[in-house]
Amino acid sequence: MEIKAVVDRWEEDKAVLLVGESETRVIWPRKLLPKATEGDILAIHIDVDTVATQQARAEADELFEQILRQNNGETENNKE
């Protein structure tokens, strides 16, 4: 997906972008933008990183399983 944004103005180290046809105002760090001036139109490409999403979910699932194992171990030890 590609979204267009206009650099409306700069406020210190941030850019005020007007995004999309509705011109939704978004504040964005200047260091994460290419060199641009007020009035420049930016093309922003947004995609879902399915590989990173799957990895993050797998890590979260593993952490959850570790917590469950630890809690079950503590519960079983407390029964003795």
Residue-level pLDDT at 80: 54
Domain boundaries, the chain: 1-47, 48-80
Confidence of residue 77 (pLDDT cuts 50, 70, 90): low
CA angle 75, 57, 54 (to 5 degrees): 150
The β-bridge relationship of strands 24-29 and 41-45 is unpaired
Residue-level pLDDT at 72: 84
Residue-level pLDDT at 71: 87
Q: Name the nearest CA neighbour of 18 among 5, 35, 31, 4.
A: 5
For 24-56, write each residue's pLDDT tens digit: 999 999 999 999 999 999 999 999 999 999 999
